[in-house]
Amino acid sequence: MGPFTQRVAMGGKPEDKVKGLILLSHGTGGTEVGHTSLAEGLARQGYLVARPADNPAPTTGSAAARQLADARVRAVLAMAPVGAVLSAESFADVKVPTAIYSADKDRFLVPRFHAEWVAKNLPAAQFHHVPNALHFAFMDTPTMPIATEDGDIATDLPGFERQEFLRRLQREIPAFFDMAFQ
């Protein structure tokens, strides 16, 4: 589909037993096909992965916190999340295991106002600082240029190895959910 390679079983039957359902949401301005390697990594580890074709309107403040406090939500993992629009108080009732990944050189969602701020205000959040990473480092590398306000999605800073990092995420993220779903 477009600039991202996918290996999917459209309409395929899921395994009879899975560890859990992971809703893989691409965030504001992203694409539902930009995290295929992560979806594949989760599926290989026994998770059923679903992706919305389009994200619903973003929620803020207490509405977002209520969604995180929903009993059906058993864990939350966010990569380069929006944070500045949320109040510290909105996180008070979030009790599920949480992991936050921050792209060190994110120019789109500056970490101190977003990922770092969210991690600081979420009780017991695991914080993962990703050195030398730009905002789109969490996405698969597209097969063609995709321009954004922050430059081409495929661009990485010298010294950042996206494919190696994505392979690391394919190990770390299922391990986080394994721990959270025990």
Residue 60, Cβ neighbours under 10 Å: how many? Answer: 14
Give the position of tokens 């995290």: 35
The pLDDT value recorded for residue 5 is 63
Q: Cα dihedral sign for 78, 81, 84, 86?
A: negative
Q: Is 173's pLDDT higher than 90?
A: yes
Give, in order, the Cα–Cα distances in Å from 137 to each of 11, 68, 160: 30, 25, 9
**Phi, psi (rounded to 5 degrees) for 95:** -115, -5
| Mean pLDDT across 32-46 | 84
pLDDT, greater one: 160 or 27: 160
Question: E strands along 69-136, which residues?
Answer: 76-79, 98-103, 126-130
pLDDT, greater one: 123 or 67: 123
Measured CA to CA, the distance from residue 128 to residue 108 in angstroms comes to: 18
Mean pLDDT of the chain: 85
pLDDT, greater one: 56 or 88: 88
And the tokens for 3? 């600039």
Kindly give the interhelix angle for 162-180 and 36-44, rounded to the nearest 10 degrees: 40
Measured CA to CA, the distance from residue 135 to residue 158 in angstroms comes to: 15
And the tokens for 84? 């500045």
Q: Is 157's pLDDT higher than 90?
A: yes
**Phi, psi (rounded to 5 degrees) for 89:** -65, -30
Task: Estimate to the nearest angstrom the gap between the alpha carbon of 61 and the chain centroid.
Answer: 19
The residues, ordered by sequence, that sit 6+ positions from 76 with a Cβ below 8 Å of its Cβ are 68, 94, 96, 97, 98, 99
Give pTM, 2 decimals.
0.84
Measured CA to CA, the distance from residue 124 to residue 97 in angstroms comes to: 8
Domain ranges of the chain: 61-180
pLDDT, greater one: 182 or 34: 182
**Residue 64's pLDDT band (boundaries 50, 70, 90)?**
low
